[in-house]
Copies of this chain bind each other. A is one copy, B any other.
Amino acid sequence: MSLSPAPAVDLGAALSRRAQSMNASAIREILKVTQRPEVISFAGGLPAPELFPIEEVRAAANTVLDRYGPAALQYSTTEGHPPLREWLAAQAGIPAANVQIMTGSQQGLDLLGKVLIDEGDTVLVEAPTYLGALQSFQPYLPRYVQLPTDDGGIDVEALEEVLKTTPAKLLYAVPNFQNPTGRTLSAERRRRLVELTAQYGVLVIEDDPYGQLRFTGEPAPSLYSLGLEFHGDPDRNHVIYSSSFSKTLVPGLRDAWVQAAAPIMTKLIQAKQGADLHTPTFNQMIVAELVQEVLPRQIERVRQAYGERARFMLERVQADFPPEVAYTIPQGGMFLWLTLPQGVDTAALLPAAVERRVAYVPGSPFYALGGGENTLRLSYTSATPAQIETGIHALGDLLRGAL
C-alpha cells in the first residue's frame, strides 16, 4: 500500500499560546554578530575557561567509574545523588530533603515557574533583572512588576509601596553581584525584604550563582538563611534558594540545586521527574568528588582572577570613559553595568562598537517591561589585560563621540 497524496498540516497553528509568547533571546541574537574572532567581546557571560580544573575533572570521572562501575551510568533518583545532596544540605544547615539537584540553575528557575506561576500571577522583578529568568518564567504567562533599584539593590521602601497595592505571587531577585548590574543587596535591605515579603505572603526566589565569587567587601547573609532564622523551620521558609556549580567549578556538567520548603519541594520533585527524570548520574558523582577539596581551591582561584580583572577594567573605565558615564563597582561576580545619559541608545550604538572591534550587551533586554535603552553590560571574566585596555579604550572613544 502506498500513501495517498499529502494534505499539508498547519504546523504553526498547532503551537500552544505559551509557545507563541516565547521569543528568541535578544542577547543570543546579538551575540551571534559579535563572535567574529577579531572582536574583543565583553558581551558574553561565560566563566573564564583557562581557570577550569580539567585534570581534576578527569581524575574525578575516572574515580567515579572505578568506584561506582555501571551505577555511574545507570538511571538514578530524581532528587539527586545522595552524597551531593547531603553535602549541600550540610552547607546550608538544613536536611537533605530540602535540596533538589537540578540540570543547571536554569532548570531550577523553569521548574519553580512551573509549580508556582499561574497565568496572570504577578512576579516582582528587579529593574533590570536576569534575562534567563524572564525566559524561564515567560511560558507560564506571568504579569511582571518591576521594582526600582539603586546601587544598594532593590529599593525596599518602593517594594513596600508595591506590596501594599499589588497582590503578588513571588519576588525574584539576584542579591549578590547581580546579573546584569553587578550590584549587591545590602544586609539591612535583605532583612527588610524578607520581613516584608513574609508579611504580605509573597514567596521569594533567591538566585545566587555568584555568591561565592566575592572579591571585596563583607558577605551579607543570604535571603534564604534570613528566612530560615525568621521562620525557624526549613519547611516553613518562604524564601527559595537556587544556585549552581557553573560559575564556581564548570558550567558544562550542568549541575545546580534548589533549596525549598517541603510543600514546594514535593511538587518540584514531581515536576523534575516529568522534565528529565534526573540530572545525569555521572555528572553528579563527578561534582560530588570535587566539592571537598577542589571546589574551595577553585573558588579562591576564580575569585582572585575575577577581582584582578574587575579592578583593571574599572581603572581603564575611569581613565578612558567620559565623565557623564556612570558605572557600578561590583564586589564580586562577573559584570559591570554602565548608564549613559538619557537619549543615548546602546542597542543602536552596538554596530559602531563592533566596527571598532569591541562588543557589549545593550541593557534594554534585561528589563521585563522595557526601559534602560541607555544602559549596557560589560563582562570582565574572559578578557586579558591587553584586551581590556584596547577594548575599553575603543569603547571610550565611541562613547565620547556619541555624547
Contact = CB atoms under 8 A, between A and B. Distances in A.
Interface of A: 1-4, 6-12, 14-19, 22-25, 28, 46-47, 49-50, 52, 54, 57-58, 61-62, 65, 69-76, 78, 103-104, 106-107, 110, 114-118, 121, 132, 135-136, 138-140, 169-170, 188, 191-192, 194-195, 198-199, 201-203, 226, 229-232, 236, 238, 246, 250-254, 261, 263-264, 267, 270-271, 273-283
Contact of A195 (B4, B17, B169, B264): B4
Contacts of A280: 103, 252-254, 280, 283
A169 B17 CA distance: 13
Contact of A118 (B16, B28, B110): B16
A275 B62 CA distance: 29
Q: So how many copies of this chain end up in the complex?
A: 2
A104 B23 contact: no
Contact of A74 (B18, B49, B263): B49
Contact of A263 (B12, B57, B136, B140): B12
Contact of A73 (B170, B188, B251): B251
Given A54-B73, A107-B275, 6 more contacts: A1-B188, A15-B263, A16-B115, A16-B121, A22-B270, A47-B74
Nearest to A254: B280
Contacts of A24: 270
B10 A201 contact: yes
Contacts of A201: 7, 9-10, 14
A115 B276 CA distance: 16
A56 to B, nearest CB: 10
B139 A271 contact: yes
- Leading 8 A-B pairs by shortest Cβ distance: A49-B70, A252-B281, A73-B250, A9-B238, A19-B115, A73-B252, A11-B263, A19-B267
Contact of A194 (B3, B17, B115): B3
28 contacts: A3-B226, A3-B230, A6-B232, A6-B236, A8-B231, A11-B236, A16-B116, A18-B114, A18-B118, A19-B115, A22-B115, A22-B267, A24-B270, A49-B73, A52-B74, A72-B252, A73-B252, A74-B251, A75-B251, A75-B252, A106-B273, A106-B277, A110-B276, A135-B274, A136-B274, A138-B274, A253-B282, A282-B283
B3 A191 contact: yes
B274 A11 contact: no
Contacts of A118: 16-18
A8 B226 CA distance: 14
Contacts of A25: 270, 273
A199 B7 contact: yes
Contact of A19 (B6, B116, B121, B229): B116
Most B CB within 10 A of own CB, among A16, A115, A118, A273: A16
Most B CB within 10 A of own CB, among A14, A23, A76, A118: A14
A51 to B, nearest CB: 8
A264 to B, nearest CB: 6
Most B CB within 10 A of own CB, among A19, A50, A71: A19
